[in-house]
């Protein structure tokens, strides 16, 4: 089945599409080659202006307004704009320019957003590092993207020293005094704050964002300046009262969310990391209107004791996405926070694919909450079998996507690019189906599907069933090979407070509801699930623990 839908409510919801990483080609400019669509988003017949310049224009229009909040500091639009232009000149003096790469290692700071804007004004590529990766993994990325300058949060100065020991870079610039590198803020203070004209060209790479690494080594996905500019143009809305809480890493979707908020004339409230109690307090204190969370973090927010008495009435849009969500838990979230939830489905490689609107979030319709919504305007989706044949409504197959926002390659990985981009379609690696009404449901990742005797176990279906138990808060299901190289179903479960549900009871429920094929061979109980730096359940770590335990017992 193939669908291309005009979705009537999309305009009102576009502000939240920053959860999707709109991406493009490999290398310093967009290459000709497989799947290339020349000038898919033509530049207007005037001088090209980057997203950074357009956001700085918005900031200049009202320099006294509050643009960013962090740990009690309130940064005005004028102060942020001045810092960006001064940083651009300081970076230029240190050899940063068009076609070079600036890598960021930082927490959620106003200054790191300014550094990204400054580097992009110079026409440089900006690459974020996930803070929780090992020094070895971070060094591999620093080396791979050909880093000219590493910009560092002072709190990560020791880690920067480890990384640059493994992967030396020409410049280490720190956002304040530290034992390593040069103080970038001090350098910037001596520069002019006159507007700095961008040196970027439309087809230059603007950002390199890496995947969360849930299915292997992180892959670098590139976005051009043209696409970044187009994206912000789509988001132009008069929303000066928007107050966005950013409590997940700026290296992931939060960076795009911050940009769209500043572009709308709103305020970005930054927390250093996600803590449910701190997030709830910030919602009440700062009168937050917009919030994005991955499902595991949303569950923590609603389960926190303070959720019952915190004033969250200012919330207008609570968007979730990035990994599968439990229908039962989402229904609970609607009851907790009201009709403000919206789900977005997309991929780093594909951009936005579908959306489940606030109106679709009916707690009495769990089958609808299982869905990822309807396909977005200007996006085409086909569900195909292994031979490439389009499947009818209701049949499971691989979700393939075609749109102007499909990437055209991974950074310096042409073979991997060729695996996922074929005949103009991106093969997402997700298994799903379309129903007769055009709603798309994601069943599993192909790599997560467990092959057992008698068929396939879809991990998200089993997780949904386990999560429906009243004494279960969250679960993660994965396969582990035994001594005979056969995959066995493993489940790691987080019990509700005060719960005494055991493995036998859960296995009996699964056997009664789905049959013996879905029954877990092993059930482990934990206080919390480990998460990747992007906030997704870390099944690689859970599988490693299970294999380690099996080895110890063997």
pLDDT for position 352: 84
Nearest to 438 by CA among 552, 356, 350: 356
Residue 297 half-sphere exposure, CB side, CA atoms within 13 Å?
A: 28
The answer for residues whose C-beta is within 8 angstroms of residue 72's C-beta and 6 or more apart is: none
- pLDDT at residue 173, as a whole number: 99
Tell me which of 13 and 300 has the higher pLDDT.
300
Asked if pLDDT for residue 18 goes beyond 80, the answer is no
Q: What is the mean pLDDT of residues 241-270?
A: 92
Please report the pLDDT score of residue 12 as a whole number.
Answer: 34
* Distant-in-sequence, close-in-space partners of 553: CB < 8 Å, separation ≥ 6: none
Cβ proximity of 455 and 430 under 8 Å: no
More reliable by pLDDT, 509 or 423: 509
- Per-residue pLDDT of 117-145, as tens digits, reads 999 999 999 999 988 888 998 999 999 99
Predicted local distance difference test score (pLDDT) of residue 98: 96
User: What is the rounded average pLDDT of the residues 346-365?
Assistant: 91
Q: Is 150 exposed, middle or buried (0-12, 13-18, 19+ CB in 10 A)?
A: buried
Q: What average pLDDT does this structure show over 179-196?
A: 96
Residue 107: what pLDDT?
95
Q: For residue range 49-96, what is the model confidence (pLDDT) as tens digits?
A: 999 999 999 999 999 999 999 999 999 999 999 999 999 999 999 999
Rounded distance between C-alpha atoms, residue 226 and residue 242, angstroms: 26
Q: Which residue has the higher pLDDT, 534 or 411?
A: 411
Tens-digit pLDDT profile for residues 487-507: 899 999 999 999 999 999 999
What was the pLDDT predicted at 241? Answer: 87
Would you tell me which CATH number, out of the four given (3.40.50.980, 3.40.640.10, 3.40.50.2300, 3.30.465.10), belongs to the domain 22-28+47-65+77-234? 3.40.50.980
Chain segment 298-340, per-residue pLDDT in tens? 999 999 999 999 999 999 999 999 888 999 999 999 999 999 9
Query: What pLDDT score does 348 carry?
Result: 80
User: pLDDT grade, residue 42 (50/70/90)?
Assistant: very low
Calculate the alpha carbon distances from 50 to 120, 196, 391, 534 in Å. 8, 12, 41, 27
Would you state the pLDDT for residue 251?
A: 86
Percent of the chain as helix, strand, coil, to the nearest 5: 35, 25, 40
Q: Which pLDDT score, from 0 to 100, does residue 20 have?
A: 39
Would you state the pLDDT for residue 253?
Answer: 81
At 307, is the secondary structure helix, strand, or coil? helix
- pLDDT band at residue 230 under the 50/70/90 scheme: low
Most confident of 227-236, 313-322, 540-549: 313-322
pLDDT score recorded for residue 9 = 34
Please report the pLDDT score of residue 231 as a whole number.
58
The predicted structure's pLDDT at residue 420: 92
SS (H, E, C) 45-91: CCCCCCHHHHHHHHHHHCCCCEEEEECCEEEEHHHHHHHHHHHHHHH
What is the CATH architecture of 448-553?
A: 2-Layer Sandwich (3.30)
Q: How confident is the model at residue 378 (pLDDT cuts 50, 70, 90)?
A: confident
At residue 408, what are phi and psi to the nearest 5 degrees?
-120, 10
pLDDT of the residue at 350:
83
Question: What residue ranges do the domains of the chain occupy?
Answer: 22-28+47-65+77-234, 448-553
Identical fold between 22-28+47-65+77-234 and 448-553 = no
Predicted confidence band at 226 (pLDDT cuts at 50, 70, 90)? confident
Encoded tokens for 510: 């699964």
pLDDT over threshold 60, residue 540:
yes
Structure tokens at 217: 């080594």
pLDDT given for residue 5 in this prediction: 38
CB 67 within 8 A of CB 267: yes
User: What's the pLDDT at 240?
Assistant: 64
Q: How much is the average pLDDT of 538-548?
A: 91
Kindly report, residue by residue over 28-38, the tens digit of the pLDDT.
333 322 223 33
What value does the mean pLDDT of the chain take? 87
Is 483's pLDDT higher than 80?
no
């Amino acid at each position: 089945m193939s669908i291309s839908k005009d979705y009537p409510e999309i305009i009102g919801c576009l502000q939240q599409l920053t959860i999707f990483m709109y991406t493009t080609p490999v290398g310093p400019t967009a290459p000709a080659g497989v799947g290339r669509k020349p000038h898919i988003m033509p530049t207007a017949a005037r001088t090209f202006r980057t997203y950074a310049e357009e956001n700085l224009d918005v900031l200049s229009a009202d320099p006294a307004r509050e643009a960013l909040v962090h740990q009690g500091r309130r940064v005005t639009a004028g102060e942020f704009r001045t810092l960006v232009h001064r940083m651009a000149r300081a970076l230029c003096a240190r050899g940063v320019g068009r076609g070079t790469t600036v890598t960021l290692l930082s927490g959620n700071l106003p200054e790191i957003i300014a550094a990204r804007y400054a580097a992009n004004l110079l026409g440089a590529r900006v690459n974020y590092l996930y803070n929780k990766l090992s020094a070895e993994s971070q060094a591999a990325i620093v080396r791979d993207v050909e880093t000219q300058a590493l910009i560092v949060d002072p709190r990560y100065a020791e880690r920067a020293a480890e990384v640059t020991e493994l992967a030396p870079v020409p410049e280490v610039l720190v956002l304040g005094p530290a034992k390593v590198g040069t103080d970038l803020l001090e350098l910037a203070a001596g520069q002019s704050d006159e507007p700095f004209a961008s040196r970027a060209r439309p087809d230059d790479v603007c950002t390199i964002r890496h995947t969360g690494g849930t299915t292997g080594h992180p892959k670098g996905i590139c976005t051009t300046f043209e696409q970044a500019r187009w994206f912000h143009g789509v988001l132009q809305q008069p929303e000066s009262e928007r107050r966005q809480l950013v409590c997940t890493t700026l290296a992931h979707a939060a960076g795009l969310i911050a940009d769209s908020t500043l572009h709308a004339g709103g305020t970005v409230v930054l927390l250093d990391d996600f803590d449910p109690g701190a997030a709830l307090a910030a919602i009440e204190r700062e009168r937050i209107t917009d919030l994005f969370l991955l499902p595991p973090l949303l569950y923590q927010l609603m389960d926190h004791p303070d959720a019952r008495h915190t004033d969250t009435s200012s919330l207008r849009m609570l968007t979730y996405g990035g990994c599968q969500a439990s229908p039962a838990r989402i229904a609970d979230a609607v009851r907790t926070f009201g009709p403000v939830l919206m789900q977005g489905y997309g991929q780093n490689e594909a951009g936005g694919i579908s959306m489940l609107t606030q109106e679709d979030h009916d707690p009495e319709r769990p089958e609808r909450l299982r869905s990822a919504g309807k396909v977005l305007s200007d996006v085409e989706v086909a569900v195909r079998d292994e031979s490439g044949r389009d499947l009818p409504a209701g049949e499971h197959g691989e979700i393939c996507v075609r749109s102007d926002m499909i990437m055209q390659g991974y950074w310096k990985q042409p073979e991997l690019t060729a695996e996922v981009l074929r005949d103009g379609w991106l093969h997402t690696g997700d298994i799903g189906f379309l129903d007769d009404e055009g709603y798309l449901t994601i069943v599993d990742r192909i790599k997560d599907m467990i092959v057992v005797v008698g068929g396939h176990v879809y991990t998200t279906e089993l997780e949904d069933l386990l999560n429906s138990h009243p004494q279960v808060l969250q679960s993660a299901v994965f396969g582990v090979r035994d001594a005979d190289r056969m995959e066995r179903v493993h489940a790691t479960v987080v019990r509700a407070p005060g719960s005494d549900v055991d493995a036998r009871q859960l296995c009996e429920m699964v056997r009664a509801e789905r049959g013996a094929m879905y029954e877990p061979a092993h059930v482990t109980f934990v206080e919390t699930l480990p998460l990747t730096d992007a906030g997704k359940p870390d099944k690689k770590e859970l599988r490693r623990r299970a294999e380690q335990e099996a080895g110890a017992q063997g």
